[in-house]
Amino acid sequence: MARVEIQNLGKLFVGTHGEPVWAVRGASLAVEDGELLVLVGPSGAGKSTVLRLIAGLEQAHEGDISIDDEVVNHVPPQDRDIAMVFQNHALYPHMTVGENLAFGLKLRKFPQAETAKRVREAAALLGLSSLLDRQPAALSGGERQRVALGRALVRQPKVFLFDEPLSNLDARLREQLRAEILRQHQRLGATMILVTHDQAEAMTMGDRIAVMDRGVIQQVAPPLTVYHEPANLFVAGFFGAPAMNFVPGRLVEHAGATWFEAEAESSEAANHVGFVVRLTPAQTTDLAHLRGRSVVLGLRPEHVQCGRESAANETCPAMVEWAETTGAELFLRLKSAGLTLTARVSPMSGIDAGERIFIHPVMAQARFFDADSRRRVF
């Protein structure tokens, strides 16, 4: 397999009015030999453009692309030893499954016996052995995507690239194909780069995740690090369903402790007890330089605990606007001092819409962001 590295990569397109539009700008990362790295972000973030630049389907305007320490910017796609699986399968409709699997090897003049052997092995691995004589029109969506995966596997390339390969499948098929890609990654020890806009896919598949927004890589880290230690407000808001709660406010000193005092979303807050929570000792120490300045408090819904009883100086009163259960979880939309928050609690709590309750924030799990730079400061 191979190590892939991009350095200060940039790709420029021309907008509808002739203006320059950077689809990718200053992108740098290294994908280690045998790693599965996931590029994730919203539509238009530049994920697929990075993949196409690595594959050689687009030419970079800035930066370098290296495979095994060799710069390949001007190497033709067919000579980069890369296999790419697309979102739309890209199968040849007039060829059988077996012919589609073998096509790439035939182009490269592989011996017929070796081609047949690789096709048989890939078909057996992906459950396609009984379908080798069928054409794509006679296959289900999941079967077609397995053929596209098999066509990449038979090549045995240095690098596998996946451009949203599961996005056109239903939930069950996505789960099956996700497991199949992971199995092949473990079996081959292959270097793989996968593009998705689905945060759950990124969290469950990637050894590391590279989060992109508007052509810029925002953070590269293991999945749990991205979730629990987001680099900035964008990453924190992108990951999590429901999303992290963001509460603008400032840090104040009172009674020998440091507190977070929220800014209300509306003038209604004047009639409520304010949303004020005390920082932990570690937060107090690390954020001492930000006292009196604007910050944003971030709380995951699972860290917004709720109850019907208060504890002095440690809780905030709230009204439950609505309650929605998924069976295993109960989601609450809360109004507190003019703020809107989402909580994830146990359905056994019995909390229902219209109740007045108390919020118990798990401050040890709270994250703080600078209001100006939007970077995480704790």
Res 266 pLDDT > 60: no
Q: Residues 55-65: what's their mean pLDDT? A: 97
Q: What percent of the chain has pLDDT over 90?
A: 85
Are 60 and 46 within 8 A, CB to CB?
A: no
Are 75 and 66 within 8 A, CB to CB?
A: no
Range of the domain at 338: 245-370
For residue 375, being part of any structural domain is answered with no
What residue type is 127 in one-letter code? G
Are 178 and 169 within 8 A, CB to CB?
A: no
Query: Is 186 found in the same domain as 321?
Result: no
Query: Is 216 found in the same domain as 249?
Result: no
For residue 104, being part of any structural domain is answered with yes
Res 233 pLDDT > 90: yes
Domain end, chosen from 181, 208, 238, is at 238
Query: Is 250 found in the same domain as 315?
Result: yes
pLDDT score of 271: 46
Mean pLDDT of the chain: 93
Res 172 pLDDT > 90: no
Q: What is the CATH number of the domain that holds 328?
A: 2.40.50.140
Nearest CA among 161, 160, 167 for reference residue 43: 167
How many CB atoms sit inside 10 A of residue 63's CB? Answer: 18
Query: Is 183 found in the same domain as 251?
Result: no
Q: How many domains does the chain have?
A: 2
How many CB atoms sit inside 10 A of residue 347's CB? Answer: 14
376, β-bridge pairs: 369
For residue 231, being part of any structural domain is answered with yes
Q: Residues 129-157: what's their mean pLDDT? A: 94
pLDDT score of 265: 60
In tens, the pLDDT along 301-317 reads 999 999 998 865 567 89
Domain end, chosen from 219, 238, 257, is at 238
Put residue 226 in one of left, alpha, beta given phi > 0 → left and psi -120 to 50 → alpha: alpha
Q: Residues 144-150: what's their mean pLDDT? A: 93
For residue 378, being part of any structural domain is answered with no
Query: Is 344 found in the same domain as 299?
Result: yes
Q: What's the pLDDT band for 152 if we cut at 50, 70, 90?
A: very high
Q: What is the CATH number of the domain that holds 9?
A: 3.40.50.300
Domain end, chosen from 238, 269, 302, is at 238
In tens, the pLDDT along 8-36 reads 999 999 988 999 999 999 999 999 999 99
Query: Is 61 found in the same domain as 97?
Result: yes
pLDDT score of 34: 97
Query: Is 207 found in the same domain as 78?
Result: yes
In tens, the pLDDT along 195-217 reads 999 999 999 999 999 999 999 99
For residue 347, being part of any structural domain is answered with yes
Query: Is 211 found in the same domain as 317?
Result: no
Query: Is 280 found in the same domain as 209?
Result: no
For residue 324, being part of any structural domain is answered with yes
Q: What's the pLDDT band for 272 if we cut at 50, 70, 90?
A: very low
Are 151 and 102 within 8 A, CB to CB?
A: no
pLDDT score of 313: 56
pLDDT score of 269: 43
Query: Is 168 found in the same domain as 64?
Result: yes
β-strand pairing of 191-196 with 36-40: parallel
In tens, the pLDDT along 62-79 reads 999 999 999 999 999 999
Query: Is 181 found in the same domain as 93?
Result: yes
Query: Is 280 found in the same domain as 182?
Result: no
pLDDT score of 280: 96
